[in-house]
Structure 1
Amino acid sequence: MIEPAGLTTRPAQVWGGVRLVPLVRETPIEDLRLDVRLHDADFGVVAVDARTDYWSYIPHGYVATWGDDAPAAAYGTQLLGPAERTRTPDRMALRFHRRMARRVAKNRLRFLPLHLALEGYLALHFGGPEIAWQEWSHRAIAHGLSPRVEEAYTGAVVRGLDDALRVFEIHAGQCGVLLYVADALASAFVVPRPADYRALHGTLLLDLYGELIYHYAMLSMPVPDFGARIADANVRSLADLRAEAARQREEWTAFHDEVMAGGLLGTDYTYEHVYALGPYRLSRFLPPFERRRDNHIGELITDESGQVAYLKTFRLSENQIRRGHLLTVLAANDWSLPGTAAALGVTEPELGRRIENAGFGHLLRQDVRDHYRARRRAGEPPPAHRRAPEHEGPTGL
């Protein structure tokens, strides 16, 4: 569970379907600083380990404190005639990174914001079946879930976000923001000091957002603005007015933290320690992948008492939650299809259908997939809703 100790929410500001909720620290964290490092190429390749690479849109990195022969890749397939073979093909710049988090000086750590969390989600049970059950293909046993791909959208294409950030009023002492689209919590962003937030405020446009947020932004109507209502009968002096204004702020804070942000704050996460920064710890976390509720992945820096100094989150779509839930249950049952089917309360052919619809059908042997389809056609009732395999996007292992 994330404990936002020391952070207080202020009344929201609205621009169309985008709602921005400021987070203010009473006491800024002065011995930790965050700075941005813009890259000379938006598309990046990260060497996760000796056998695994992470490819994604990576326009910038963060540096936490206690660089015309750049590599390039061709845009698709380009056919050149004999007279054109001396022409340099159209290219996009690549940037290679050594690890998601890397120490660059004695008390400086460079890490890739949000990609640290996304790589943790993509690596979920990445090795595949640990027991060579007869239903799994040779590829599943030999290579696991490689390649693993998910889709995301940059903040620049989330309608209304650019304008909202431009007209957003930054509060005194503000160290973070909760970003809502159509009143669905899209992302939480927290930094140690107000000066850090002012410097990094615009990088929200460079972040990645899930398909749910992108579609909400495209289809949503304007959301209602926050409005304080003070009864005239309760105000007899300036002191009464101040007291009523303070009560309105407290009511808004309680409503926001318990209702609007409850899906982020009221969840038990699984944490993975990534790096030690003196008295601070950089970690990433995964949700329990509970269906029909908010699920966020993210990364954070905490001090020895557990106070959050840095936080960045990514909201998973329902399809991504299903994939995470399915992989978690498979792993919990040692990748046994009968055991997993029993745990989910479905038949083996129905489990086979779910595996295929999740985009993992290639892990099953073809004859097993055909057998499951034949059993479903022969006597099992069809599911109420059929979904096509997920579209592969730009972020993956």
Structure 2
Amino acid sequence: MATKQKLLTDISLKGLEIAPSQIRGAVRIVPLLRRQVRGDFRLVRRDYHEDIAVVSLAGRITVPEMQYYSYIPHGLVLSWSDDGSPIAAFGGQMFKPDGKRLDCGCASVRLMHRMAKREAKNQLRLLPLHLAMEGFLSLFFSGPDIAWSEYSKYALAHGLGSRYEMSFSGRYIAGLEDALRVFEIHPRQVGVLVFVAETLASAFVVPTPEDYRALHTSLLEDFYGELIYEYSMMFDKPFPMDLSVDDAKIHSLADLRNAIAKMRTDWAAFQGFMAEGLLQSPLNSQRVYTMGPFVLQRFITSLHPKEENHIGEAIIREDGELEYLKTYRLSAAQTRRVYLLSQLHFYNWNIDATATALGNTREEFVTRLETAGFGYLLNQQVRDAARKKRKK
């Protein structure tokens, strides 16, 4: 049964094929093709037109500590069948209003409940990528469990308080809009791996080719990290990587067909290798919702500071086949912030024990917290002592 399905430990492209990439400027888009389209799981975009959205994570808008604020251009409405029967086209379906709209004069606001909300027996509304980001922001959010004397009254009372992260709309990634406009969409294409200057920016997978065609340009409405934005501005072309057929070995159409098939296989394997920071990385996953034979999960990679790290959300079948995937690459600064929090959590928020484990003096570790933007968690005496030690 789906409720017994294990959590994701890595991203498997089971049921998918990697096709040859297409390049435009520094943007490389690698199509993902589905071998067998079943049609019993579908999704459709629901557009929002407000300047900002406020999502109540506890189901109540009145709890400030449990709200998520962001610009959210669209949601996804998921529909599925429990018995494997195909789902009718979405064009004729009617959807209920999603939350409330407020006009505040200078800005419009949409109030919504939960990142993933059941709307009907076999229908769920999901806020794509924001589900993953909210999980990232809430990591170790409660702060110290023990009233250590080093922490400020604010940290002991409110934990991390209001956490935030900055990102860039896909429209600011140089070349991405042009690439999505001109690139060919394969008949069986259900997703993409997006590289910018040969750096994996995101992965996106949906259940059917029809769903992908409808959501192809939605990649522009996703958000991307600072690293991806900077790379798109710094580089105007990727590294040269070419494969060719040795014409000396071609003596018939069969030889040509086999040579091209091998070239495609080699190219797919290499492009999978390019994405190994996501596809080969161990994951820490959390089950969010069970939908009949499908399970919605969000995840984060190992958080090693010297490696690339990603957050994301996925929907998989009972047999492990990937039906939906959306990821976001963390910047080095974002990784450092959550890594420091994870180490503090592991050592019960003990400053000295954490500093020793990381090979730092007490003052060096306090400086790392200050640099990462978490200085407000510490009382002023601890911060002043570290500052004086640095000056000496």
TM-score by length of 1: 0.89
Aligned match for 1:232, one of 244, 247, 250: 247
Matched residue type, 2:79: T
1:10 equivalent in alignment to 2:19: yes
- Work out whether residues 14 and 224 of structure 1, in 8 Å CA contact, stay in contact via their aligned partners in 2: no
1:102 equivalent in alignment to 2:117: yes
Q: Give the Cα separation in 1 of the matches to 2:333 and 2:249.
A: 50
Q: Give the Cα separation in 2 of the matches to 1:314 and 1:195.
A: 23
2:345 equivalent in structure 1: 331
1:115 equivalent in structure 2: 130
- Work out whether residues 12 and 226 of structure 1, in 8 Å CA contact, stay in contact via their aligned partners in 2: no
SS in 1 for 2:368: helix
The unaligned stretches of length 5 or more in structure 1 are 74-89, 379-397
1:343-354 correspondence to structure 2 within 5 Å:
343-354=357-368
Q: Give the Cα separation in 2 of the matches to 1:93 and 1:218.
A: 32
1:71 equivalent in structure 2: 102
1:395 equivalent in structure 2: none
Deviation string, structure 1 residues 301-333 (Cα, Å, up to 9, x no partner): 011122111000000000001011101100000
Matched residue type, 2:170: G
- Work out whether residues 198 and 239 of structure 2, in 8 Å CA contact, stay in contact via their aligned partners in 1: no
1:286 equivalent in structure 2: 300
Q: Give the Cα separation in 2 of the matches to 1:65 and 1:226.
A: 40
1:17-96 correspondence to structure 2 within 5 Å:
17-49=26-58, 50=63, 51-66=65-80, 67=97, 70-73=101-104, 91-96=106-111
- Give me the identity figure in percent: 49
SS in 2 for 1:159: coil
Matched residue type, 2:336: R
Deviation string, structure 1 residues 185-232 (Cα, Å, up to 9, x no partner): 000000111111001111001001001101111111211466431111
- Work out whether residues 23 and 178 of structure 1, in 8 Å CA contact, stay in contact via their aligned partners in 2: yes
1:246-257 correspondence to structure 2 within 5 Å:
246-257=261-272
Matched residue type, 1:297: I
Matched residue type, 1:178: L
Q: Give the Cα separation in 1 of the matches to 2:107 and 2:22.
A: 38
The unaligned stretches of length 5 or more in structure 2 are 1-9, 81-96
- Work out whether residues 12 and 22 of structure 1, in 8 Å CA contact, stay in contact via their aligned partners in 2: yes
Aligned match for 2:230, one of 212, 215, 221: 215
Matched residue type, 2:346: A
SS in 2 for 1:253: helix
What value does the CA root-mean-square deviation take over the aligned residues? 1.2
Q: Give the Cα separation in 2 of the matches to 1:116 and 1:167.
A: 30
SS in 1 for 2:204: strand
1:258-337 correspondence to structure 2 within 5 Å:
258=273, 260-337=274-351
SS in 2 for 1:322: helix
- Work out whether residues 53 and 110 of structure 2, in 8 Å CA contact, stay in contact via their aligned partners in 1: yes
Q: Give the Cα separation in 2 of the matches to 1:64 and 1:251.
A: 35
Deviation string, structure 1 residues 340-379 (Cα, Å, up to 9, x no partner): 001101001000001011111000001110011112222x
2:3 equivalent in structure 1: none
Residue-pair matches, total: 360
- Work out whether residues 14 and 321 of structure 2, in 8 Å CA contact, stay in contact via their aligned partners in 1: yes
Matched residue type, 2:270: F
TM-score by length of 2: 0.90
2:144 equivalent in structure 1: 129
- Work out whether residues 197 and 239 of structure 2, in 8 Å CA contact, stay in contact via their aligned partners in 1: no
2:189 equivalent in structure 1: 174
Deviation at 1:72, TM superposition (A): 3.5
1:185 equivalent in alignment to 2:194: no
- Work out whether residues 286 and 297 of structure 1, in 8 Å CA contact, stay in contact via their aligned partners in 2: yes
- Work out whether residues 315 and 322 of structure 2, in 8 Å CA contact, stay in contact via their aligned partners in 1: yes
- Work out whether residues 101 and 111 of structure 2, in 8 Å CA contact, stay in contact via their aligned partners in 1: no
Farther off after superposition, 44-53 or 333-342: 44-53
- Work out whether residues 17 and 223 of structure 1, in 8 Å CA contact, stay in contact via their aligned partners in 2: yes
Deviation string, structure 1 residues 41-94 (Cα, Å, up to 9, x no partner): 142110012441100110100001013x94134xxxxxxxxxxxxxxxx51111
Aligned match for 2:209, one of 194, 200, 216: 194
1:365 equivalent in alignment to 2:374: no
Q: Give the Cα separation in 2 of the matches to 1:179 and 1:122.
A: 24
> In structure 2, do the counterparts of structure 1 residues 245 and 104 end up closer, same or farther at CA, with 3 Å as the change threshold?
same
Q: Give the Cα separation in 2 of the matches to 1:210 and 1:46.
A: 22
Deviation at 1:168, TM superposition (A): 1.2
Q: Give the Cα separation in 2 of the matches to 1:28 and 1:346.
A: 53
Q: Give the Cα separation in 2 of the matches to 1:224 and 1:331.
A: 41
SS in 2 for 1:149: coil
Q: Give the Cα separation in 2 of the matches to 1:52 and 1:11.
A: 44
Matched residue type, 2:52: F
Matched residue type, 2:28: R
